[in-house]
């Protein structure tokens, strides 16, 4: 499996010391970072105060070795504080165990419109590339928790569907083109497919549309085996599906090249470096 993973920007070398060995070489386990699905504000504050090596804005990298993998993790968000707390509490510890050089970026949509997951990812990508560029992105839902440490949070040569074995689907793929949840893709590939569509307001379709874009560009998709790509989905009420999603998907099959990153518009309402994440609040 490690051979499939792309190393961070070519040419990067540790200035002092050595590359990290990472987990597949050390066989650590998740012991010690068990998942707690009820994290209060107080618990998260205690975690923040006690956690070492997370810099303001929610970035971290190993201190005693040079990580082979550097990634920006973008999380679209609105009104799910309980899940965000659980996600941050778990994911920081998980990524630190994996010895990844990472930053967590939360992109929060203002209340006026229906939630637009794809567009929030596009904004997170564009804004992050301006401020803290990375060759590798993970587009990640806040309600998904990776359960195997071997699911290294890095990019592969082909775009990777990370969350292909989710507990709510009995760890099976519900259909072969499913491409939602958590996806890793290089910046170069993401740019080449013109990102996500901006047109999906409401639940559903934007991830299938991304799969279409990736297939059209013949990039291929990779998934790791079931016991590696295992996730727990945190409980939440089912979102109301967007009734227009099939029409939009059909239309996008023609216009995807001119609809996405290249015609993205939004208003940044605020930009804040929180202790455990970088927060971008946007109006779409």
Q: Are 241 and 202 in contact (CB under 8 A)?
A: yes
At closest approach, how far in Å is the CB of 36 from ligand NGS?
23
3-class DSSP state for residue 125? helix
User: Residue 65 or residue 178: which is nearer to ligand NGS going by CB?
Assistant: 178
**Cα distance between residue 89 and residue 49, in whole Å:** 12
User: Residue 2 or residue 174: which is nearer to ligand NGS going by CB?
Assistant: 174
Q: Which of 101, 108, 143, 207 binds ligand NGS (CB under 6 A)?
A: 207
At closest approach, how far in Å is the CB of 140 from ligand NGS?
13
Burial class (CB in 10 A: 0-12, 13-18, 19+), 112: exposed
At closest approach, how far in Å is the CB of 110 from ligand NGS?
22
> Which region among 41-49, 94-102, 203-211, 254-262 touches ligand NGS (by CB under 6 A)?
203-211
Residue length of the chain: 284
Phi (first) and psi of residue 236, to 5 degrees:
-160, 165
Q: Are 197 and 260 in contact (CB under 8 A)?
A: yes
At closest approach, how far in Å is the CB of 254 from ligand NGS?
17
Establish if 76 lies at the interface with ligand NGS (CB under 6 A). no
Site for ligand NGS, residues 16 to 45, rule: CB under 6 A: none
At closest approach, how far in Å is the CB of 121 from ligand NGS?
13
Strand order in the sheet with 144-146: 144-146, 230-233, 165-166
At 218, list the tokens: 């013949």
User: Residue 26 or residue 79: which is nearer to ligand NGS going by CB?
Assistant: 79
Establish if 195 lies at the interface with ligand NGS (CB under 6 A). no
Q: Which of 204, 213, 260, 280 binds ligand NGS (CB under 6 A)?
A: 204
Helix (H) or strand (E) holding 76: strand 70-77
Site for ligand NGS, residues 230 to 259, rule: CB under 6 A: 245
Give the CA count within 13 Å in the CB-facing half-sphere of 175: 7
Site for ligand NGS, residues 170 to 189, rule: CB under 6 A: 178, 180
Establish if 57 lies at the interface with ligand NGS (CB under 6 A). no
Give the CA count within 13 Å in the CB-facing half-sphere of 43: 13
Establish if 208 lies at the interface with ligand NGS (CB under 6 A). yes
User: Residue 21 or residue 246: which is nearer to ligand NGS going by CB?
Assistant: 246
Establish if 143 lies at the interface with ligand NGS (CB under 6 A). no
**Cα distance between residue 6 and residue 95, in whole Å:** 17
> Which region among 37-45, 90-98, 129-137, 202-210 touches ligand NGS (by CB under 6 A)?
202-210
Cβ neighbours of residue 180 closer than 8 Å, sequence gap 6 or more:
141, 163, 207, 208
**Cα distance between residue 66 and residue 56, in whole Å:** 20
User: Residue 124 or residue 180: which is nearer to ligand NGS going by CB?
Assistant: 180
At closest approach, how far in Å is the CB of 154 from ligand NGS?
23
Neighbours of 246 (CB within 10 A): 12
Instruction: Give the footprint of ligand NGS on this chain (CB under 6 A).
Output: 178, 180, 204-205, 207-208, 245
């Amino acid at each position: 499996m490690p051979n499939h993973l792309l190393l961070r920007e070519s040419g990067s070398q540790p200035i002092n010391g050595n590359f990290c060995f990472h987990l597949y070489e050390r066989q650590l386990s998740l012991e010690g970072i068990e998942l707690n699905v009820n994290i209060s504000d107080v618990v998260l504050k205690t975690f923040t105060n006690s956690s070492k090596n997370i810099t303001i804005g929610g970035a971290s990298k190993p201190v005693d070795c040079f990580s082979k993998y550097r990634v920006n993790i973008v999380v679209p968000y609105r009104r799910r504080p309980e899940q965000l707390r659980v996600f941050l509490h778990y994911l920081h510890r998980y990524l630190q165990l994996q010895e990844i050089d990472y930053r967590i970026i939360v992109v929060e949509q203002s209340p006026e419109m229906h939630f637009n997951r794809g567009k929030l990812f596009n904004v997170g990508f564009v804004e992050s590339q301006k401020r803290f560029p990375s060759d590798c992105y993970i587009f990640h839902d806040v309600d998904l928790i990776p359960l195997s440490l071997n699911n290294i949070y890095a990019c592969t040569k082909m775009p990777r569907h990370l969350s292909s074995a989710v507990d709510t689907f009995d760890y099976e793929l519900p259909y072969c083109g499913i491409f939602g949840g958590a996806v890793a893709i290089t910046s170069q590939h993401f740019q080449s497919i013109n990102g996500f569509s901006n047109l999906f307001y409401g639940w559903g379709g934007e991830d299938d549309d991304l799969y279409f874009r990736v297939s059209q560009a013949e990039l291929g998709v990779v998934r790791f085996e079931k016991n590696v790509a295992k996730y727990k989905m945190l409980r939440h009420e089912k979102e109301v599906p967007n009734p227009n999603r099939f029409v939009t998907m059909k239309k996008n099959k023609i216009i995807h090249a001119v609809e996405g990153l290249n015609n993205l518009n939004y208003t940044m309402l605020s930009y804040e470096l929180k202790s455990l994440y970088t927060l971008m609040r946007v109006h779409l």
